[in-house]
């Protein structure tokens, strides 16, 4: 696994809920996390890093300013930027901020639940705080539309995940329902996606699909190692699986299907 070999430095500007879980998850995966928020240093840190992950989970004006500075510095240095638009659609401030970042920063990837992605591209969907409300939305078409509109990879996650760059689209059917009981499962996934994009690929949309599948397989394996996958102990076993899942086991269990008509 290239992330374990290259140990990319991932600069996260994230929320106060998930900071520790994100850092530990990236370390378990084999990447190197750093959280840096001050406007005096974010551009420098973003240029040093292999990828920048921007997350608006607990935003305020200083964070937004830092996110824009870091995103633009990463663009100038040719580093990948991932945006997690946590809660876009829940409040006008979140929606506007996510759209402003997507407008002003050249994103490599946007990752969120269906409601968040829909709101970033000016559509509407039900959202409850930062959590999606289950519905029968067509996430394949949503991911395609969003990717074409924003000109980046879009990952719409939920029971099944969809990754699209507007041309190639993949459906990933790995994962485990207990992930919905862990705050930060999505936020950590956005940072894991940043790590997979940071190590470079000829086919970034496929690399993004592999990031989501790797995460989902690690969750399945963790649950299989437990008598009962309850949220508290699952978190620890899940981190263990991010660290120990082998390439062979991953390839045997990954469920990545191409959604495009052949
Ligand atoms: P939300 O706040 O709506 O839960 P999120 O940002 O936490 O969104 P999710 O969509 O929950 O992100 O995705 C995080 C991980 O959880 C992904 O790997 C996804 O595949 C997985 N996941 C989410 N729901 C399920 C489910 N019902 N069954 C299996 N895996 C799931
Ligand atoms: N409130 C603001 S950010 C946050 C909460 C609960 C964490 C959301 O994390 P995730 O990964 O979307 O579940
Ligand atoms: Mg969640
Ligand atoms: Mg989320």
Please indicate whether residue 170, judged by its CB atom, sits closer than 6 Å to ligand 1: no
Please tell me whether 157 is known to bind a ligand. Answer: yes
Between β-strands 109-113 and 131-132, what pairing exists: parallel, antiparallel or unpaired?
unpaired
The pLDDT value given to residue 33: 98
Cα 181 to averaged position of ligand 3 atoms, centre (Å): 7
Total count of residues recorded for the chain:
262
Atom of ligand 2 nearest to the CA of 86: 12
Distance CA 177, CA 86 (A): 19
Among 203, 198, 204, 200, which residue's Cα sits nearest to residue 74?
Answer: 198
Q: How far is CA 116 from CA 94, 138, 227, 247, 255, in A?
A: 10, 14, 34, 32, 24
Q: Are the C-beta atoms of residues 75 and 52 closer than 8 Å to each other?
A: no
Report residue 157 as tokens. Answer: 């996650």
Please tell me whether 111 is known to bind a ligand. Answer: yes
Domain residues for the domain of 154 are 2-258
Q: What is the pTM of this model?
A: 0.96
The pLDDT value given to residue 128: 62
Among 160, 157, 144, 184, which residue's Cα sits nearest to residue 257?
Answer: 160
Please indicate whether residue 204, judged by its CB atom, sits closer than 6 Å to ligand 1: no
Residue of the CA atom closest to atom 19 of ligand 1:
158
Residue of the CA atom closest to atom 25 of ligand 1:
159
Distance CA 19, CA 187 (A): 9
Cα 248 to averaged position of ligand 1 atoms, centre (Å): 24
Cα 54 to averaged position of ligand 1 atoms, centre (Å): 18
The pLDDT value given to residue 200: 86
Report residue 237 as tokens. Answer: 């076993």
Phi, psi values for residue 28, rounded to 5°: -60, -40
The pLDDT value given to residue 127: 62
The enclosing domain of 225 has a CATH number of: 3.40.1190.20
Report residue 183 as tokens. Answer: 């705050």
Structural domain count of the chain: 1
The pLDDT value given to residue 214: 98
Q: Are the C-beta atoms of residues 96 and 127 closer than 8 Å to each other?
A: no
Cα 261 to averaged position of ligand 3 atoms, centre (Å): 30
Among 224, 223, 220, 226, which residue's Cα sits nearest to residue 250?
Answer: 220
239-256 pLDDT, tens per residue? 999 999 999 999 999 999
Q: pLDDT below 50 — which residues of the chain?
A: 136, 262
Taking the alpha carbons of 254, 195, 103, 62 in that order, is the dihedral positive or negative? Answer: positive
Please indicate whether residue 175, judged by its CB atom, sits closer than 6 Å to ligand 1: yes
């Amino acid at each position: 696994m290239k992330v374990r070999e290259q140990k990319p430095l991932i600069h996260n500007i994230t929320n106060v809920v998930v900071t520790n879980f994100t850092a530990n998850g990236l370390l378990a995966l084999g990447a190197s996390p750093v959280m840096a928020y001050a406007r005096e240093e974010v551009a420098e840190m973003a240029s040093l890093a292999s990828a920048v992950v921007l997350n608006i989970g607990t935003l305020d004006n200083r964070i937004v300013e830092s996110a824009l500075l870091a995103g633009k510095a990463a663009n100038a240095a040719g580093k990948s930027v991932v945006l997690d638009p946590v809660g876009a659609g829940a409040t006008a401030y979140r929606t506007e901020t996510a759209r402003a970042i997507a407008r002003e920063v050249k994103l490599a990837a946007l990752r969120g639940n269906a409601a968040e992605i829909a709101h970033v591209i000016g559509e509407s969907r039900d959202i409850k705080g930062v959590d999606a409300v289950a519905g029968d939305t067509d996430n394949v078409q949503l991911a395609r539309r969003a990717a074409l509109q924003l000109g980046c990879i879009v990952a719409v996650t939920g029971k099944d995940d969809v990754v699209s760059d507007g041309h190639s689209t993949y459906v990933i059917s790995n994962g485990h329902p207990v992930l919905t009981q862990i705050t930060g499962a999505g936020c950590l996934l956005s940072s894991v996606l940043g790590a997979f994009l940071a190590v470079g690929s000829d086919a970034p949309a496929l690399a993004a699909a592999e990031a989501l599948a790797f995460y989902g397989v690690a969750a399945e394996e963790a649950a299989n190692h437990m008598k009962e996958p309850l949220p508290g102990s699952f978190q620890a076993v899940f981190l263990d699986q991010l660290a120990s899942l082998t390439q062979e086991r991953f390839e045997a269990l990954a469920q990545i299907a191409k959604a495009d008509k052949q």
